[in-house]
Amino acid sequence: MSSPDLKDFQLDFGGIVLGHGTSIPIAEIEGLGRARVRGEVVAQPGADGAWLSPDWYEARTLSIDCAIKTPGAPAAAAQILAGLEAVADEARVRTVGGALMPLRIKWPGSPVRVLFGRMRKIAPTWEKAALGWVPLDLEFVAPHPRFYADFEQQTQLRLGWLSGGGFRAPVQAPIRVTSGNPSGQMRPGWVTNNGDVDTHPVITVHGPCANPVITHVETGRSIDLPVTLAAGQWVRIDTRPGQIRVTRENGGSAPTNSRLDTFVLPPGRSELRWTASDPTATARLTAKWRDAYTSLSDRRISIHR
């Protein structure tokens, strides 16, 4: 199902559009600014002032004060409310730990951005329902406070790109090849995060290959996977906060001793490379990511008064 187009001051939750110009006008939204932080303020013994511990972001909670407005049509209001409740009740999200849903937001001066979380509260007030007016308190909780691009980016790397311009006899299997020519200017493996903060990719390695190693060139961070993949098999590395895991095509897990939470794509253009033992040179790697932002507003846009 395609996502609906949004205008300024509109939100999309599961295909239901809220906000300006809709049947669900919004009076106020709290929680769109800087997310709350947790950290301690410790008094300095025998001295003025205090010591501040590291600040870590808490989950972002949006409190949305809105109402369903269908003048003279209470049944239509009830139907809209039932639609919101049905989306929030999606069992594949509600009953699975770590599973999230998108909340799409369109703010003036910026493209649509997305929070991933769950609708935790839908509280209607029925006093004026007969008039087609049902006030609503909504609460959406995003465990990670970053905003993301509306669309996912993707790149694919094969092991068939050789780093040295060919083979030198004698050749023995397995052949170990890399993802690009270090001297090239437009090597495969360039990835671009158009946001203003690090983003976490989801990487899938498709066999046949053994012992793949994925490296982010600029940071030097690597992911080592001591696995052997036959043709048709794959392993997926999810580095996203709250969803960190390594899974196989059969639903099982795969081992790694690498730090997945620190494997990020920084703002701007950077490069991914990978190596593996592959006797066929047909293995491939797919990386997917969304641009990540600190806020709804694009700070690269200057406002002239």
Distance CA 184, CA 79 (A): 58
Give the mean pLDDT of 10-26: 96
Token pair of 113 as six digits: 């951005």
Token pair of 174 as six digits: 């397995």
Q: What is the pLDDT of residues 37-71, one digit of tens each?
A: 999 999 999 999 999 999 999 999 999 999 999 99
Distance CA 266, CA 244 (A): 18
Q: What is the pLDDT of residues 179-232, one digit of tens each?
A: 444 433 335 689 999 999 999 999 999 999 999 999 999 999 999 999 999 999
β-strands 147-149, 292-293 pairing: antiparallel
**Is the CB of residue 231 less than 8 Å from the CB of residue 208?**
yes
Sign of CA dihedral 273, 277, 278, 284: negative
- Written as one letter, the residue type at 24 is I
293 closest CA partner among 182, 198, 223, 172 = 198
Give the mean pLDDT of 263-283: 93
Count the neighbouring beta carbons within 10 Å of the beta carbon of residue 212.
Answer: 26
* Model pLDDT, residue 20: 96
4: left (phi over 0), alpha (psi -120 to 50) or beta: beta
DSSP 9-21: TEEEETTEEEETT
* Model pLDDT, residue 305: 39
